[in-house]
Amino acid sequence: GTVKESGEKHKGSVEIPNLSEENEVDDTEINISKKKGEGDVLKDLMRTEGTMKVREALRDYLKALKTEFTLGMILPTKATVGQELATEEKLSGSSVQDCISPPSLDTVGVKIPTVKILMREIFNSPADELYSIFTTKELVQKFSKCPAVIEAEKGGKIQMFDGCVSGEYTELVPSQRIVLKWRCRNWPDEHYATVALNFKDMAAQTELQLECNGVPVSNEDSTRQCWKKQYFEDIHIFLQQSKDSME
């Protein structure tokens, strides 16, 4: 701030240590400090009228948050704050970064919205064979080119792409349907989406219908890319290679 009479400029800071939607804004602590030098008049002004202005701004901010994040909300835990994102490398040398994108709202106490992703893909494979590719460890490791944990039973664990993706099976109907609790490593701690894979048999082909509920909005695009590139495209390549080897 600048002292009007003298024109002197002074620097200080405002610290808000306990902002939370659970507390009344008027109870929010606001600490005013200044750097070396004069400027006590500015500090006193900030402690009085300045504090009122800051609380007005906080009241508008919290109101906007509650309005914007009404539906489909999850609450990140402290484990997500400051979490470093690292690009995972596939054993083949290609980069598994489709599930990795900078979080935009991973702040303690701030709820973030989620979205539903719907995708369809046609595979040149009968439904039972495509179902096996998602439930057989050896086949998963072949198309993903990474070690995997695949326990294809209700409650069984799943881990792929060197831990970039993890979860568990919650429903299995052979050749028809798979439901997973599914997450990317950089999502808020302990948050899972629900992924349903429905296999529609079309003779020599299968239409795979994917429904993914509970994806953090900030990870929508990267999650789509993960399924498109790391799953669908690599499975297409694997099926073609298997066909070529048989011929």
Identify how many contiguous H helices and E strands the chain contains and give both numbers.
6, 12
Q: For position 61, what pLDDT does the model report? A: 73
> Which is more confident, 81 or 10?
10
Average pLDDT, the chain: 80
Q: For the chain, which residues make up each domain, given as ranges?
A: 11-69, 114-245
**pLDDT one-digit tens code per residue, 170-223:** 999 999 999 999 999 999 988 999 999 999 999 889 999 999 999 999 999 999
Contacts of 4 (CB under 8 A, 6+ apart): none
Band of pLDDT at residue 224, cut at 50, 70 and 90:
very high
pLDDT tens readout for residues 42-96: 777 777 877 788 878 877 777 766 665 554 454 444 444 444 343 333 444 444 4
73 or 137, which is more confident: 137
pLDDT at 62: 73
pLDDT of 195: 98
* Of the candidates 109, 133, 126, the residue with the CA atom closest to the CA atom of residue 28: 109
Give residue 114's pLDDT. Answer: 93
Inter-axis angle of helices 127-135 and 234-246, to 10 degrees? 120
- The single residue listed with the structure tokens 């219908």 is 209
Record the pTM.
0.56
CATH of domain 114-245: 3.30.530.20
Region 18-23 average pLDDT: 68
